[in-house]
Amino acid sequence: MEQKQDKLKEIISHAKEYGFVFPSSEIYDGLAATYDYGQLGAELKNNIKQYWWKSMTQMHQNIVGLDASIFMHPTTWKASGHVDAFNDPLIDNKDSKKRYRADVLLEEHMEKINKKIIKEITKAKKRFGEKFDETEFRKTNPNVLRNQGKINDIEASMKKSLEENDLEALRNLIVDLEISCPISGSKNWTEVRQFNLMFSTEMGSVAGDASTIYLRPETAQGIFVNFLNVQKSGRMKIPFGIAQIGKAFRNEIIARQFIFRMREFEQMEMQFFVPPGEELKWYDYWKTQREKWHKNLNLGEDLHRFHDHIKLAHYANAACDIEFDFPMGFKELEGIHSRTDFDLKQHEKHSGKKLSYFDPERNESYVPYVIETSIGLDRMFLAVLSASFTKENLENNASRTVLKIPAPLAPVKVAILPLVKKDGLPEVANELANKLKFDYNFQIDIKDSIGKRYRRQDAIGTPICITIDHQTKTDHTVTIRFRDSMKQERVSMDHIEMILNEQLGWKNLLTKLA
């Protein structure tokens, strides 16, 4: 665990040093849990957005995009349930004065017990080798059974207290389990209170209730209120989806762990409208699709897992998260929810407008059911960054830090390196850059030895370096060097664009999704 925390620290400082992520308003000592994306961060973020956007809209004829405003009519949030129920249960430790989410404290406690189970299984795997049957072991080993029993009991009690909004029971559970504050080590807890996560502000110059509006806590509602606009203007036939990328705001109780949990963040959400009764089929479909999208990036083995929700939100009839093995451990990266017809029905009720669809195949009108896929862009950024961050020992006691970012997502795609600053080599570099700039983000780097320049490009994740030397001028060839393998190849300049296209283009990545 400590090693992992150290890794997070290293990633944060690497991200700052190379212009990926800065603390926000740093000259004023920063603002808690807000970050700015620097020159390379902005590129990486845009590329992740593109990967998502293209996979949703370009790769599905029946999914279209939307860009709704952040401010919405305040009744939206009454209808969606956010005004009344978008709360987190908070608890304070009286000694450290640190604030926690009560449910998160319990989840972390369960994760600790789960780690014991995993340790037991790993040990047994080693002992029994090939013959090891994990399912059987889980069913029979007394230690595993005892610990699994503990987890099940905690889960059940937590679910019950959350569902019944029994905050005292939630507190008692924390006390009974002897959960202590990681900072003070004490078990001196306050009562549990509900805290609404929406930011509010005033519209126009008049203050007061009537002008109170909210910064949207999710992008989804912008999709729901536009459901009929899009369906009618786009002549969309169910099943169809609406995809949107945009900022969302939540006054999180604790916002730690870098860009994992912020108060201002970006979501990539897609709402897929289906006939009633078909929602669970589509829920499974989107689970598979989204898993494929993640694994397609080849960030590493065993980095993703599904986690079914313990407590279903008031609107859902099935829900799970795709969790990612961040430097802080497995945490939610994306949520997939079967939201039933709750949102559209609520908006019908509060607006007095019909939001139903006439299905020509069924020859009937209905309010569609909805499957939602919702992923945090910033969390995806952290996933890519942390899985890519690698330290390698090389020959001659040398080492390198390399970001093995999937090539199409890399902020800088190509570095063009003239061997020396004279003999016409920089001119050749400029000529090449002028050809490539229409398709690829590039850097020309002239300073220092080639080795140092390669290290600099490795550190920012540039997949390809092209070195121009004296031979280039005589035979029109260059050296192409690949980031991950560090292999170098002498190729004709006429082949550069073809090679780049193969290595860096979206097509290869997206083809595997089709």
Q: Is 250 in the site for ligand ATP (CB under 6 A)?
A: yes
Nearest distance from residue 184's CB to ligand ATP, in Å? 24
263 CA to centre of own chain: 15
Nearest distance from residue 243's CB to ligand ATP, in Å? 14
From residue 350, alpha-carbon distances to 79, 84, 228, 346, 426 in Å are 6, 14, 16, 6, 65
User: If we measure between CA atoms, which residue out of 24, 1, 18 comes closest to residue 259?
Assistant: 24
Q: Is 252 in the site for ligand ATP (CB under 6 A)?
A: yes
> Closest residue (Cβ) to ligand ATP?
376
Q: Which of 334, 341, 445, 458 binds ligand ATP (CB under 6 A)?
A: 334
Residue partners of 116: CB distance under 8 A and separation at least 6: 143, 147
Q: Is 304 in the site for ligand ATP (CB under 6 A)?
A: no
Q: Before 276, cis peptide (omega within 30)?
A: no
> Closer CB to ligand ATP, residue 309 or residue 455?
309
Q: Is 265 in the site for ligand ATP (CB under 6 A)?
A: yes
> Closer CB to ligand ATP, residue 333 or residue 410?
333
Q: Which of 43, 341, 343, 378 binds ligand ATP (CB under 6 A)?
A: 378
> Closer CB to ligand ATP, residue 8 or residue 419?
8
Nearest distance from residue 203's CB to ligand ATP, in Å? 24
| Helical (H) or strand (E) element with 2 | helix 2-17
Report the distance separating Cα 453 and Cα 446, nearest Å. Answer: 8
Question: Which stretches of 37-99 are DSSP H helices?
Answer: 39-53, 75-80, 82-85
Pairing of strands 357-359, 364-366: antiparallel
Nearest distance from residue 8's CB to ligand ATP, in Å? 15
> 């319990």: which residue's tokens?
106
| Terminal alpha carbon distance of the chain | 38
- Candidate segments 91-99, 372-380, 433-441, 470-478, binder of ligand ATP by CB under 6 A: 372-380
Q: Is 373 in the site for ligand ATP (CB under 6 A)?
A: no
> Closer CB to ligand ATP, residue 100 or residue 265?
265
Q: Which two tokens stand for residue 425?
A: 């080599």
Q: Is 335 in the site for ligand ATP (CB under 6 A)?
A: yes
- Candidate segments 186-194, 229-237, 374-382, 410-418, binder of ligand ATP by CB under 6 A: 374-382
Q: How many residues sit in the footprint of ligand ATP (CB under 6 A)?
A: 16
Q: Is 443 in the site for ligand ATP (CB under 6 A)?
A: no
Q: What is the 3-state secondary structure (H, E, C) of 370-401?
A: EEEEEEEHHHHHHHHHHHHEEEEECCCCCEEE
Report the distance separating Cα 100 and Cα 184, nearest Å. Answer: 13
Q: Is 267 in the site for ligand ATP (CB under 6 A)?
A: yes
Partners of residue 478 on adjacent β-strands: 491
Q: Which of 171, 216, 379, 453 binds ligand ATP (CB under 6 A)?
A: 379
Sign of the CA dihedral 185, 187, 189, 192? positive
Q: Which of 56, 262, 407, 410 binds ligand ATP (CB under 6 A)?
A: 262
Identify residues 207-226 at the interface with ligand ATP (CB under 6 A): 218
Nearest distance from residue 130's CB to ligand ATP, in Å? 38
Q: Is 327 in the site for ligand ATP (CB under 6 A)?
A: no
Q: Which of 332, 341, 343, 469 binds ligand ATP (CB under 6 A)?
A: 332
Q: Give the single-character DSSP code of 210.
A: G
Q: Is 324 in the site for ligand ATP (CB under 6 A)?
A: no
Q: Which two tokens stand for residue 238?
A: 């169910």
Q: Which of 225, 253, 375, 478 binds ligand ATP (CB under 6 A)?
A: 375
310 CA to centre of own chain: 21
- Candidate segments 71-79, 119-127, 326-334, 469-477, binder of ligand ATP by CB under 6 A: 326-334
> 């029905």: which residue's tokens?
345
Report the distance separating Cα 172 and Cα 156, nearest Å. Answer: 14
Q: Which of 327, 376, 406, 461 binds ligand ATP (CB under 6 A)?
A: 376
Q: What angle do CA 361, 365, 371 make, to 5 degrees?
A: 85
Residues in the chain: 514
Q: Which two tokens stand for residue 247?
A: 């900022």
Q: Which of 271, 374, 386, 472 binds ligand ATP (CB under 6 A)?
A: 374
- Candidate segments 74-82, 150-158, 327-335, 458-466, binder of ligand ATP by CB under 6 A: 327-335
Q: Which residues bind ligand ATP (CB under 6 A)?
A: 218, 250, 252, 261-262, 265, 267, 332-335, 374-376, 378-379
